[in-house]
Structure 1
């Protein structure tokens, strides 16, 4: 294998990762699907011709082997907790007052809010920038190991790079299927005479829990982070800072995230309600 081949493989991996970042994180692609597919095809050809060059974290290596049996259990080192609810403006204001009282010396709070995506909660563990484990929420303390399936989701980076990359980073977020992708998938399934899904949430959950990663790879799943679990170094003083750091590392965060005081958050909530039906994904809060 010549030095030029090795260099070209590395260039292709870096270029494809950059395009993935621009598409899934920044929502600002610079090339079309056909050009992207051509880059992936060239990389696959070179890796096939020169198997000694294969990087296990190459963009071509997302589909792994099917497990021998069901999913193994994973204990969450930091529990994946559920959310409390408020149902009107008065309850929201009471929540803000309780938080202000608990934080002595704070006269006002900066709050962060985002749409609650309707999908399947997921925890992804990176060590030294490499994805090593992904697990469902389960009961909050114990979930299922779905690592091989998660590796097939193109919006989830297999490796992370950045100045603020901690040695250990658990990313928490939601696996979803966007409305447009859900409709297109159901049309394909119906045309093939296969069973269709009732709604995007069921499609996302059912797809992620398939035993065969090759099937999961055909399902148009997306992922957006909303927080972190175990982290070996701080990512920021505020939740909004943490989200910005995750984004800088290449991890998609919810594009609907807003921050401000209680009044601006309440206004953002009302604005979200008004456009709920036109959002590209289902939400449940």
Structure 2
């Protein structure tokens, strides 16, 4: 990908009322690699299932995977227009796609999205657990039990359920890539529920890598820093959106396109001896 000068804050005031948000209203618009990502066959013939693939990081990964030769199942909540746009880019790359709308806090749906992927494509070669939920709270007392449970069910419970359903259909050489976060190592106090789940994902991924090694299945994580996705204007306060990304050494948020290569590498056969690792894509903020 050619070097691009990406926008830095301050950004214009913008709020979205509905979680997890939509791409179209965002200013500046996120870059998912639509014009820049060039594939080279790293995932030729593979079948990928990506959660949260309607927008943000998930869309960027779907576009990259398709251009690398993979067919892509797109799991998402209910952002149908965004999901159709992702599917359009996958199909434009000459690959097949499958749209899977539904709520991953629903245990039956977690099994269903794997079953439907296998029904169409016959197997799962790459599972990307990317969908997530967050909300900002100023104090612990503001977080209800229901909010805490929803965050954990979406962010780590669903990863357990989907992975458990997918593993029987994954052959040796398959890969699982989980989206964790810089918050796993450096938790933002305003995102305490979200940050806690990201720490759990990182720990789960390390254990999973060891459990699945004998099956020839690899498990790794990607830890994004501040990334410009619809989750930001739909979950953060106006002043936080305005200055989003300014806290890292690069002084800007990352674009979804800037994470795609990490997911491609971990999904590819070139990463055959990488398992239990976490790749940080954080704009210069180290993770320990």
TM-score by length of 2: 0.25
Higher Rg: 1
